[in-house]
Amino acid sequence: MKKYFKKMWMLYLRIFKYHLLKCGKESYIGMAVVIRPNCVSIGYKSFIGPRCWLASKVEIGNFVMIAARVAIVGGDHRFDVVGIPSIEAGRSENKPVKIHDDVWIGHGAIIMHGVTIGEGAVVAAGAVVTKDVDSYSIVAGVPASKIKMRFNEDDIIKHQKALEQKREMINL
């Protein structure tokens, strides 16, 4: 019975509240999340924690974990127009964000628009991601920079094979 209500709740969120482009099975959206309508797609078995803010065009892959209070922002106000106050200068182009499979984004991280986060990457809590993140790297800081790799080369190959088997099992 609990699974049924969870499924119905996610259907309500997908269609009526957030107008998601796609929401994969077994995905979860926490409480008090703000999502820009008609701009977000979520893959299979992904998690969006409470109080997240998705204000950009976002494509979230499979098996992604996004902790609480993560913000994905974009289309910032223009401040480079001479003679016009920033509040009147309009907004820049809102570039899409791509989050590949098996990514973990820590509490309170901020992801700027136009960024791609590679497969298996980890973004530390509180990081501000302003540029692309390589697959299987761990980034931290403001602005975020690579601190180490998640796995060595041999383990990356093993992990990729295991992920591919999981994708095949669930027909992704």
The backbone torsions φ and ψ at residue 119, rounded to the nearest 5 degrees and listed phi first, read -55, 135
Rounded CA Rg of the chain: 17
- Give, for 112, the enclosing helix (H) or strand (E): strand 110-112
Torsion sign over Cα 69, 136, 42, 111: positive
For residues 149 and 170, give the distance between their C-alpha atoms in angstroms, rounded to a whole number: 28
- Positions marked active-site: 77
